[in-house]
Amino acid sequence: MQIEVRHLHQRLGMTTVYVTHDQREALTMSDRIAVINHGRFRQIDKPQDLYERPNNRFIAEFIGESHFLPVEVRGGTAYLGERAMRLAEPPRHQAAAQFLVLRPEKLKVIDATDGAGLNVFAGQVKEFVYQGESSLLYVALADGQPIAIRQPAGSAHRAPPPGAPITLGLAPADTIIVPSEEA
């Protein structure tokens, strides 16, 4: 039905305002999305830009599934601990304390030697959950921070058992840095 409403909107060529609390529905049906929180517009953008380039932590939490790691921005570079993060573009905000947004579907299981050009994270497998079209792999990073990796169903045979060490890669284009609030 969502696609039919979208096609009707396109065919009629008229502005349509649709209010929903369902993020997936908003991403599916919209040319532009306005996220409102406490009566204020937090971000107005194309669906893909809203998801791939959230303005702040609130947007990244509200649209999609995310995990957050604290980073420090110094001289236009984001640092996770003392490790500089590889970014496709410099952080958009100048605040020192920001967050690395980890989207489960953007993380990839890699061999420890295959991390060239990626942001690499070491951890330990905690749990594997099969979900039909995909699976979730729960991991505790070296500092204990829990995160999840979403893999297509065909990747299930590559899941290491609970307790096994694991190395994850994140492409610079998928490395999102956001402030906690609007800058």
Domains of the chain by residue range = 1-64
The pLDDT tens digits for 82-137 are 999 999 998 988 889 999 999 999 999 998 788 889 999 999 999 999 888 888 99
Q: How confident is the model at residue 20 (pLDDT cuts 50, 70, 90)?
A: confident
Which pLDDT score, from 0 to 100, does residue 158 have? 66
Which pLDDT score is estimated for 157? 55
Q: How confident is the model at residue 81 (pLDDT cuts 50, 70, 90)?
A: very high
Distance CA 22, CA 62 (A): 10
Nearest by Cα to 138 from 157, 158, 162:
162
Counting DSSP H helices and E strands in the chain, the numbers are: 4, 12
Q: Enter the tokens of residue 37.
A: 């929180």
What is the C-alpha separation between 49 and 175, in angstroms, rounded? Answer: 14
Residue 69, classified by CB atoms within 10 Å of its CB into exposed (0-12), middle (13-18) or buried (19+), is middle
Residue 83's pLDDT is what?
Answer: 94
- Render 57-101 in DSSP notation, one character per residue: HHHHHHSS--EEEEEEEETTEEEETTEEPP-SS--S---SEEEEE
**Banded pLDDT at 155 (limits 50, 70, 90):** low
